[in-house]
Structure 1
Amino acid sequence: MPSGRELAYDHLKDTVLSDPAMQGQFVNEQALADEIGVSRTPIREALLLLAAEELVQLVPKRGAYIAPVGGREIRELFEIRAMIECYAARRAVELGAVPVVEMRAELDGQRGLTGDDEARAFIDRDHRFHSALVRAVGNDMLSKTYDGLRARQIRAGIVALFSHGDRRKAVLVEHEAIVEALAAGDAEAAEAAITAHLQATQQVLIEG
């Protein structure tokens, strides 16, 4: 059974940090403790862990602050993602291990998620779409490195959806281009599609 700290950490990382309404806000420790059903101590312990990961900022006498996604963070996140995902595309094609079925399943699942209240589910599938390609390479260290970006990726993705009304439809088109290139075994086209997709999301985030 997960400890109170683990429950608080997972809830903060997977739910609170990815809530657009929480960007630029302080965490209400007591409200969060009541919501999860733990004391404030595990909440504070979880916040210390998140602060060490630079996902929240601890402000003396005020608590934990969730800073809006900044320009530098956006650029660095998408630079790392581009390096990992483009490599994964090339390597998966070389190995004949492209997970087309899994990626198409996630894409098909995304198509049915159109409501604002389904944004989190849409981005969860977005992450699984991309991580399936990275896992296909069979490099555990690479997969763990990519999974370490998950909280930031989901947070950025949700913000992007709410920043641009047509972003959800554009993501589906961009994902389809990635899958088609991979299915055709065209590593160069897949890299180009991945790069275009990441650049489009980055641009939406920077423009706000």
Structure 2
Amino acid sequence: MGSKPKGLTDWAYETIKELILTLKVAPGTQLQIEMLADQMGVSRTPVREALLRLEQDGLTQVVPRVGVFVTDISKRDLEELYELRELLESRATEEAAQRLTDDDLDHIDRLLEESKVAVKKGNVEKFLETEIAFHHILTEGARNRRLISIMDGLRDLSYRWRIISLKSQENVRLTLIEHQGIAQALRQRDGPKAGKLMGDHIRSARERMIKEIDLGDETEVSSGAGA
């Protein structure tokens, strides 16, 4: 684990959050405060406070008299999160088309080139990194601080789904193609087209995720079902 910053609670929060988002701790897992504290070399207090913050984020759940658990990820969660992302991010992208600087657009082009290299090398971790950066720069391009904060939270909550979906090389390929189409519309400063393509992209991503994981009649994805 990385070096500890001044705030132990912040460090514990970021460390545990990363374990959850990257599926190193599976959905539904009970988190042992004492064990986490020992592993991180801190007292139980910052760990306990970190878990409470993660509950506010929707990543952990405190069950009275039982313990703290990593939240499951369900089909309903996926649909709700991506419905919000579709609404907000398509609008943000439309606004960004008029507000992104030429340097921003060059940055997007570089991200797409890095994505291509990652696809060729089969480096899913690097592709996910560039995919997240692509979406983030478009949200920032809307120049709306509240929207940026909301979207960052939604992306965190959907991160586990994205990891599962991008295990498929076909999903990775389609994601890159869709990003390229959005980038082209941004270069043309065509806000309505860019916004529509972003909405289509997020909707398609949601459909691919549902298809990737055979949920059947089950609505919950547990450690044994997907990660």
TM above 0.5, one fold?
yes
1:42 paired with 2:50, answer no
Q: Indicate how the Cα distance of structure 1 residues 199 and 150 shifts in structure 2: closer, same or farther if over 3 A, else same.
A: closer
The question of whether the paired residues in 1 share the 8 Å contact of 2:78 and 2:158 is answered with: no
Aligned to 2:216: none
How far 1:150 sits from its partner (Å)? 3.3
What is the correspondence of 1:113-192 to structure 2 with a 5 Å cutoff?
113-114=118-119, 118-162=123-167, 164-192=168-196
SS in 1 for 2:163: helix
The question of whether the paired residues in 1 share the 8 Å contact of 2:23 and 2:160 is answered with: yes
> In 2, Cα distance between the equivalents of 1:19 and 1:143?
24
- Tell me which moved more, 42-51 or 61-70: 61-70
> In 2, Cα distance between the equivalents of 1:15 and 1:104?
30
Tell me, which stretches of 5 or more residues in structure 2 are unaligned?
214-227
Percent of paired sites with the same residue: 28
How far 1:101 sits from its partner (Å)? 1.4
The question of whether the paired residues in 2 share the 8 Å contact of 1:13 and 1:151 is answered with: no
What is the correspondence of 1:15-54 to structure 2 with a 5 Å cutoff?
15-19=19-23, 22-54=26-58
> In 1, Cα distance between the equivalents of 2:137 and 2:12?
27
Q: Using structure 2 for the length normalisation, give the TM-score.
A: 0.78
Q: What is the alpha-carbon root mean square deviation over aligned residues?
A: 2.4
1:75 paired with 2:91, answer no
The question of whether the paired residues in 2 share the 8 Å contact of 1:97 and 1:137 is answered with: no
Paired residue type of 1:201 = A
> In 2, Cα distance between the equivalents of 1:49 and 1:95?
34
Aligned to 1:195: 199
How far 1:123 sits from its partner (Å)? 2.2
How far 1:78 sits from its partner (Å)? 1.2
Paired residue type of 2:69 = Y
Q: Indicate how the Cα distance of structure 1 residues 170 and 35 shifts in structure 2: closer, same or farther if over 3 A, else same.
A: farther
Tell me, which stretches of 5 or more residues in structure 1 are unaligned?
none
- Tell me which moved more, 66-75 or 169-178: 66-75
* Superimposed CA distance per residue, residues 37-89 of structure 1 (whole angstroms, 9 cap, x where no aligned partner): 22333222111111122211123454322233212221221122122221122
Q: Which has the higher contact order (CA 8 A, sep 6+)?
A: 2
Q: Using structure 1 for the length normalisation, give the TM-score.
A: 0.85
Aligned to 1:100: 105
